[in-house]
Amino acid sequence: MTSTLVRLALAASWRGRHRDERRAAVVAGAAAVVAVMAAGCVSAWLLSTRINERATARSFRAAGSAPPAMERSALFDETSAGQQIYVYWWRILAPGARIPGVPADPPVGSWFVSPALREVMRYDPAVAERFGSDAAVIGKDGVAHRRELLAYRFVDHDSDRAEKLSLEPGLDWIGDGAEVVELFPISVAAVALIGIPGFGLMLAALAPFGPVLERRDSLLDALGASQGTRTGLAVAHAALCAGPGAVAGSLAWYLLSRELTAVPLVGRAVFRGDLAMPAIPAVLVALGVTGLASAVVGVRPRRANGNRPAQAMPGTPPAARIVPLLVGLAVAVVGIATPDRGGAKVFLVGVVAVAIGAVAGLPYVLDRVGRRLAEHPTTLALLVGRRLQWDATSSARSLVAVGTLAVLLPLVAAWVAVARSLDTPPETASYAVELRGDVTDATVSELAERTGAVPVKVVTATNGPPEPLLVGDCRALAEVVALARCDASFEFARPSRVVLGGYERLPGARSAPPGATVRSTLFVSLEGPQTERLLRSFVVNGTQARLQVATPGRSVFRESPLVSWILGAATLAGLVGGCALLLHLAAQAARSALSRARLLAVGADRSTLRRLAGGEAGLAVAVVGLTCTAVGAVCSWLFVQKDPSAAVPYAVIAYVIVGILVAATVAGIAAATAAPSGTGVARD
């Protein structure tokens, strides 16, 4: 039975007629694209994991009562083009003790710099002079990521300077943690911006199979084949079409990924091999994509055939289809209403649910629009409306990628707008620094007394890891806390903090309510540079050990690394959406060819058929695109509620609407141009 199924499936795909082979090639191509996208996601996830692992491996604490093997002190006293260079001084206590990326027993007085810092030293003489031209390069295993500016200095046991450095046997973290991307938002973004459009592309590629499968299913049913056999044949057919593409895509990425030195479309520099895809995940990706195509075909609904009761209007979708959309919106609203990081995660999950719910509800929307249009007295409206109704489910299925994009683009725009507002460097007159380490209440009090800065406690009701103390003048901090006035009588309008690269409004207060946990304290100073000098002096010479000052504000307020990832994923989603749109047009032309041939026989002229084809194609794209854009705009509005200063990205939403209208027009013109050439009803 299995071999018969495979033979039949082969005959229907690669050994079939030219038209069948063309359909199979389209599915194989889509499977290759989806496999590359999926494999790229896996590589990105592995990259993040590798960065996290390397960053974790070089950070240590002194283990129990054992004598420490080395000590270190963080100085952070150098910058390059406004970017912090993370400078650590080390003292090796146990001969042979290893620091990742540095050979055992490095010479006393030597400098080791990261590959990125070595690059900076080539064009910045001041930096080169500071670290010396003979500085060695830290190996890849000691550098979290390729853009990291890191320097190690090794000092002697008896060095006077070492005694003044407050060397400690271990600290929690080395370097800049900003590049260590949280896996949760990356995963959710990958599902939303790559998973759903990729799925949509596969649906669009498989759409032309619909009528073929229906006819064959009906015929086999009439011949007495069981449901299992018929489904098995459909699944085998899809697997044979998608399999070669999935394997080719996965293999291509497997070979390419180990040579890449930057993430495609994202542009972030990486070490060669950091994106390398192991063989087993590559095989799993190929199998997964093939399985996805098979599953789509295996579970697709069949229209009425001879053995089933006829449906009044096949595919008439129930109103329950919009329930997932409403549930997704409810989850997003709950996420907005929930403070802290948990709320942000719930919101992201809600947004993905909204994107899925929106596309799931599209057949219902298309059906309603078609029904209303068919009530219009003109013949063209009747025909276009009824076609929309008839093909609501099929059209929506092949427009999943376009719909998803229309939902997500306004939201991505809102997110990027929020994240990008951090990118604006503080004015030259303003400044902000980070105070790292064990910031206690005593530290805050002493610091306030010595620097004249005003502490403002930002409180939340939950516990979490300690956060760096932000110290800055009110112009710099206004970016974060929405200062109403920037003078001696400054006031916080709505305290907020950076979460997932964007702002999250905090239920902040100038004094902590009973029972609340102080999560961080903002210092606002009216004397910027002076305060920084005081602060450094306070840390180096004072009694507050285990504290470091990181300079300057730009490192605090710079753009989230998530931005480039999200923009890269959005670009990929846009390309995939464009491909899916083209496939949709081809599928729709095939689906409605018979209707047009019948109209031609009745007496409709070709211009009527062109207007009908154009109206049908254009309207489907417009209805799907605009509906989903409206949903995306609502999500975007919800998102900016977390940010005290951000506005709904009306301009981007307008661009999306214009883009949808242009796409609908192009789709309409393309469909109208492909006028039917034959009657399609000749039988003799």
Residues at the site binding another protein, with contacts judged by CB under 8 A: 304, 310-314, 377, 379, 382-383, 386-387, 389-391, 595, 598-608, 679, 681-684
Q: How far is the CB of 193 from another protein (least distance, A)?
A: 35
Residue with tokens 């495609």: 264
Return the number of the residue (389 or 404) whose C-beta is nearest another protein: 389
CA geometry: angle 430, 436, 439, nearest 5 deg: 105
Return the number of the residue (157 or 376) whose C-beta is nearest another protein: 376
Return the number of the residue (478 or 672) whose C-beta is nearest another protein: 672
Q: How far is the CB of 614 from another protein (least distance, A)?
A: 17
Return the number of the residue (1 or 602) whose C-beta is nearest another protein: 602
Q: In terms of residues, how long is the chain?
A: 684
Q: How far is the CB of 415 from another protein (least distance, A)?
A: 41
| Amino acid residing at 367 | D
Q: Residue 50: which residues within 8 A CB-CB, separation 6 or more?
A: 274
Q: How far is the CB of 674 from another protein (least distance, A)?
A: 17
* Contact in structure between 677 and 609 (CB atoms under 8 Å): no
Q: How far is the CB of 684 from another protein (least distance, A)?
A: 3
* Contact in structure between 422 and 218 (CB atoms under 8 Å): no
Q: Residue 362: which residues within 8 A CB-CB, separation 6 or more?
A: 392, 396, 399, 400, 403, 624, 627, 628
Q: How far is the CB of 595 from another protein (least distance, A)?
A: 6
**Phi–psi pair at 372, nearest 5 degrees:** -65, -40
**Phi–psi pair at 473, nearest 5 degrees:** -85, 170
Please choose, from the candidates 82, 144, 84, 78, the residue with its C-alpha nearest in 3D space to the C-alpha of residue 111: 78
Identify any residues that bridge with 522 across adjacent strands, giving them in sequence order.
Answer: 456, 470
Residue with tokens 């030195």: 261
**Phi–psi pair at 385, nearest 5 degrees:** -60, -45
Q: How far is the CB of 310 from another protein (least distance, A)?
A: 4
Return the number of the residue (387 or 397) whose C-beta is nearest another protein: 387
* Contact in structure between 55 and 140 (CB atoms under 8 Å): no
CA geometry: angle 511, 517, 521, nearest 5 deg: 55
Token code pair at residue 193: 């911006």
Return the number of the residue (283 or 674) whose C-beta is nearest another protein: 674
Q: How far is the CB of 597 from another protein (least distance, A)?
A: 8
Helices (H), 156-208: 160-164, 183-190, 196-206
Return the number of the residue (386 or 494) whose C-beta is nearest another protein: 386
Return the number of the residue (388 or 567) whose C-beta is nearest another protein: 388
Q: How many beta carbons lie within 10 A of that of residue 648, not counting itself?
A: 19
Q: How far is the CB of 304 from another protein (least distance, A)?
A: 6
CA atoms within 13 A on the CB side of 173: 16
Return the number of the residue (362 or 600) whose C-beta is nearest another protein: 600
Interhelix angle 209-223/227-257, rounded to 10 degrees, is 150
> Rg of the chain's alpha carbons, rounded to an integer?
31
Q: How far is the CB of 207 from another protein (least distance, A)?
A: 17
Return the number of the residue (113 or 213) whose C-beta is nearest another protein: 213
Q: How far is the CB of 389 from another protein (least distance, A)?
A: 7
Return the number of the residue (134 or 684) whose C-beta is nearest another protein: 684
Return the number of the residue (304 or 658) whose C-beta is nearest another protein: 304
**Phi–psi pair at 548, nearest 5 degrees:** -130, 150
* Contact in structure between 395 and 620 (CB atoms under 8 Å): yes
Residue with tokens 């009973």: 514
Q: How far is the CB of 601 from another protein (least distance, A)?
A: 6
Q: How far is the CB of 673 from another protein (least distance, A)?
A: 16
* Contact in structure between 243 and 287 (CB atoms under 8 Å): no
79-110 per-residue burial string, b: 16 or more CB within 10 A, e: under 16? bbeebbbbbbbbbbeeeeeebbbbeeebeeee
Q: How far is the CB of 380 from another protein (least distance, A)?
A: 9
Element (H, E) at 408: helix 400-421
Element (H, E) at 485: strand 483-485
Q: How far is the CB of 381 from another protein (least distance, A)?
A: 10
Cα 197 to chain centroid distance, Å, stands at 12
Return the number of the residue (449 or 684) whose C-beta is nearest another protein: 684
Token code pair at residue 298: 């295996």
Q: Residue 485: which residues within 8 A CB-CB, separation 6 or more?
A: 491
Before 309, cis peptide (omega within 30)? no
